[in-house]
């Protein structure tokens, strides 16, 4: 090509390519570049592979914003849009046009235009944009400015990001609420998405309508944390907004209860809801209590945890003196039991419980103290790690961590015999069991007579007790 125009300061790569093509007499971008090359230009990648005048002088950065938004991996919008004033003044399509969290031109304060009011089609990255015309070849009308977006033009990047998140959660299907992050934001109508999100975050009426809809969509028989996962997840992700407090609350329970019956969540959400870690989820998967997607769970796995709830709903024993797992926390700790042990025991019929949806899963499962102890005692036989942390040792012995540290000093609670990372914070399990037995038979003399009492408190302080 003969003409190689100089890049304008802050010009985007795709904007430069459009000018370069136009100056060399090209009418449509597709007659100069393959579709893949146009994609590279939009993404700001592989610039060296595309022969485009002085394109290489434009700094190629993939991400155009440091704002974090879980929906996108790269903050660079691929959707075509322009500032009409920048176009009219000097055919500039600035880099910020591709920043997904910017909605107005920083120079002209005008909203970006992304669709044609004449034919209602979205714009494409094509040369007629430089003449402020629609890119639909059957239309070509002059583009009209976008005067009234449904949000103020001075939103910060973080606020726009929050609006996009709100729009995402607003339109999510209830059984399927993991965040489907895509690498590149491909918002068909960024303005519409920001408008919807802004309305949800600021209009009390819109928020209440949405919460009502959610309340009806989630089964009334689920614990509140499960029912309210969409709105509370959104509340956690956004900054300070008028409606944030509304989203933080748990949904009310409608009657009659209904409807949806799958609950697909991310691994992170599942570990929170089920009070466990990835190993625990793996065990639940092996017990066929969470759906199998892959044989191993990985961080991006999406899993369906509704079978846990289906199982719990079958738990309707009416025994006297049942307490919730939350109230029986100490017994759980003493026998090193966790929720996953309980769920698997329920599934295999070892433990009979009652289920009454409360706010968390642990205050929704009820069992008698005796039955939990019997189960714990048996289960504890299988619990034979080499070492446990001071914290765990404290739960297993009911002896405070500061006293345990004192016992360490006295040589009664040995660290690992071989040097391992973090070993100073671990206790030999045999010693813990010996200690547990002596506590149980009431024979523990924590402070052997050779250590006089006043010194004890001194020692406890010294080790940070």
Nearer to Zn ion, 194 or 435 (CB): 194
How far separated are the first and last CA of the chain, in Å rounded? 77
Name which position in 50, 105, 187, 342 contacts Zn ion (CB under 5 A).
Answer: 105
The least CB distance from residue 80 to Zn ion, in Å, is 12
Name which position in 8, 10, 73, 85 contacts Zn ion (CB under 5 A).
Answer: 85
The least CB distance from residue 89 to Zn ion, in Å, is 8
Binding marks (x or -) toward Zn ion, 30..69, rule CB under 5 A? Answer: ----------------------------------------
Q: What distance in Å separates the CA atoms of residue 271 and residue 318, rounded to the nearest whole number?
A: 29
Q: What distance in Å separates the CA atoms of residue 115 and residue 135, rounded to the nearest whole number?
A: 9
Which H or E run contains 387? strand 387-389
Name which position in 74, 80, 86, 221 contacts Zn ion (CB under 5 A).
Answer: 86
Q: What are phi and psi of 208, to 5 degrees?
A: -65, -35
The verdict on 353 binding Zn ion (CB under 5 A) reads no
Nearer to Zn ion, 136 or 228 (CB): 136
- What b/e string do you get for 391-426 counting C-beta neighbours within 10 Å, with b at 16 or more? ebbbbbbebebbbbbbbbeeebbebeeeeeeeeeeb
The least CB distance from residue 108 to Zn ion, in Å, is 4
Nearer to Zn ion, 84 or 165 (CB): 84
Beta bridge partners of 266: 302
- Residues of this chain, 354-383, that bind Zn ion according to CB under 5 A: none
C-alpha radius of gyration, the chain, whole number: 31
- Residues of this chain, 126-165, that bind Zn ion according to CB under 5 A: 134, 136, 139, 141
Nearer to Zn ion, 41 or 83 (CB): 83
* Nearest CA-CA partner of 100 in 25, 33, 42, 34: 42
Name which position in 8, 45, 118, 302 contacts Zn ion (CB under 5 A).
Answer: 118
Only segment of 54-62, 106-114, 187-195, 367-375 that touches Zn ion (CB under 5 A): 106-114
DSSP track, 405-465 = HHHHHTTSSPPPSS--TTGGGEEEHHHHHHHHHHHHTT---SS-TTS-HHHHHHHHHHTT-
Name which position in 23, 73, 108, 216 contacts Zn ion (CB under 5 A).
Answer: 108
- Contacts by residues 449-455 (CB-CB < 8 Å, ≥ 24 positions apart): 451/410
**Total residues contacting Zn ion (rule CB under 5 A)?**
13
Site for Zn ion, rule CB under 5 A: 83, 85-86, 105, 107-108, 116, 118-119, 134, 136, 139, 141
């Amino acid at each position: 090509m003969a003409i190689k125009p100089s890049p304008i300061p802050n010009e985007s790569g795709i904007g430069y390519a459009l000018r370069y093509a136009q100056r060399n007499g090209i009418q449509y971008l597709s007659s100069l570049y393959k579709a893949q090359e146009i994609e590279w230009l939009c993404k700001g990648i592989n610039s060296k592979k595309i022969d485009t005048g002085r394109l290489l002088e434009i700094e190629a950065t993939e991400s155009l914003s440091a704002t974090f938004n879980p929906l996108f991996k790269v903050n660079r919008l691929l959707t075509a849009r322009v500032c009409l004033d920048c176009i009219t003044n000097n055919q500039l399509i600035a880099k910020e046009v591709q920043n997904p969290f910017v909605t107005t031109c920083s120079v002209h304060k005008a909203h970006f235009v992304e669709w044609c009011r004449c034919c209602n089609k979205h714009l494409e990255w094509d040369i007629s944009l430089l003449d402020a015309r629609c890119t639909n070849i059957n239309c070509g009308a002059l583009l009209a400015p976008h005067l009234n977006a449904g949000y103020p033009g001075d939103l910060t990047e973080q606020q726009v990001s929050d609006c996009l998140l709100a729009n995402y959660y607003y339109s999510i299907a209830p059984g399927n609420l993991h965040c489907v992050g895509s690498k590149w934001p491909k918002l068909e109508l960024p303005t519409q998405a920001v408008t919807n999100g802004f309305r949800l975050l600021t209009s009390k009426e819109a928020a209440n309508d949405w919460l009502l809809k959610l309340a009806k969509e989630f089964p009334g028989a689920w614990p509140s944390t499960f029912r309210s996962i969409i709105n509370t997840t959104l509340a956690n992700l956004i900054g300070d907004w008028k409606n944030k407090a509304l989203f933080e609350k748990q949904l009310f329970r409608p009657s009659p209860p209904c409807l949806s019956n799958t609950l697909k969540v991310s691994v992170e959400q599942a570990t929170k809801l089920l009070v466990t870690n990835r190993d625990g989820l793996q065990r639940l998967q092996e017990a066929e209590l969470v759906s199998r997607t892959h044989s191993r769970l990985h961080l991006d796995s999406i899993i369906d945890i509704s079978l846990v709830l289906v199982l719990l709903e079958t738990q309707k024993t009416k025994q006297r003196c049942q307490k919730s797992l939350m109230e029986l926390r100490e017994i759980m700790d003493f026998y090193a039991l966790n929720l996953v042990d309980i769920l698997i025991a329920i599934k295999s019929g070892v433990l009979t419980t009652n289920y009454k949806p409360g706010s968390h899963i642990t205050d929704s499962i009820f069992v008698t103290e005796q039955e939990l102890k019997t189960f714990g005692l048996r289960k504890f036989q299988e619990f034979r790690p080499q070492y446990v942390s001071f914290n765990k040792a404290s739960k297993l012995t009911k002896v405070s961590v500061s006293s345990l540290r004192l016992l360490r000093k006295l040589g009664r609670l040995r660290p690992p015999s071989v040097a391992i990372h973090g070993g100073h914070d671990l206790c030999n399990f045999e010693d813990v069991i010996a200690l547990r037995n002596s506590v149980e038979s009431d024979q523990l003399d924590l402070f052997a007579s050779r250590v006089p009492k006043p010194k004890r408190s001194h020692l406890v302080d010294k080790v940070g007790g």
